[in-house]
Structure formats: C-alpha cells, structure tokens
C-alpha cells in the first residue's frame, strides 16, 4: 500500500474546491492511488507527475515520489491553468527536496 502525503497548499486547494463532484472524484482517485492504481497519469519530468481527473474542466493533481511507496501531493489545478500549475509544482518539488537534504 502506498502512503500519500499532502502539502498544505494541496490540502487548502482541495478543501476550497467548490465543485463537490470533482472533490469526490479527486478523493476517490487518491484512495485508489494508495492502493497502487494511479489511473490516468503522466510523468512531467523533474520528479513531478500529474493525475488527470476527467471531471468538470479537467482537474489535475500534481505529485512527486518520495521513496518506494511514499508520494507527496504537491498542488492541484485544472486544464485552464495547467502550464502555470506544472511550473509551480516543479518549483515546490525542487524546494521540498532541498529542504529534505541534511
């Protein structure tokens, strides 16, 4: 079973998401990811991947792998802000990894 951690930014984004159907779909996808099924996803490079949730405007959850079975949900967004969200996720992931170094 995978361990799924969340940044505060991701938690805030999900909490503030008004679309209840999308929120339910995202939470369901996270539960499946815990069981090893990430569904539709893509490696974006620099250690960041995205899960695609085909609901509403096309939500995206950006994540990085911290170890063998530990993942960090970095941030979320939708198709309309995808390019900016990817850059932001990569920046957060880079900073996170710098902070993890002794």
Question: Looking at the 3D structure of the chain, how many domains does it have?
Answer: 1
CA dist., res. 77 & res. 95, Å (int): 19
pTM assigned to the model = 0.94
Q: Which is higher by pLDDT, 69 or 15? A: 15
The angle at the Cα of 51, spanning 54 to 13, to the nearest 5 degrees, equals 85
CATH of the domain at 40: 3.30.2310.20
Predicted confidence at residue 69, as pLDDT, reads: 87
CA dist., res. 68 & res. 6, Å (int): 17
Q: Which domain holds residue 11?
A: 3-100
**pLDDT surpassing 90 at residue 100:** no
The angle at the Cα of 25, spanning 23 to 29, to the nearest 5 degrees, equals 115
């Amino acid at each position: 079973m995978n361990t799924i951690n969340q940044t505060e930014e991701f938690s805030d984004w999900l909490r503030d998401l008004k679309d209840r159907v999308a929120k339910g779909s995202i939470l369901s996808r996270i539960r499946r990811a815990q069981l090893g099924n990430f569904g539709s996803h893509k490696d974006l490079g620099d250690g960041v991947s995205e899960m695609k949730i085909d609901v509403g405007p096309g939500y995206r959850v950006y994540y990085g792998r911290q170890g063998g079975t530990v993942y960090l949900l970095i941030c979320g967004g939708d198709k309309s802000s995808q390019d900016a969200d990817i850059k932001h996720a990569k920046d957060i992931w880079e900073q996170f990894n710098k902070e993890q170094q002794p």
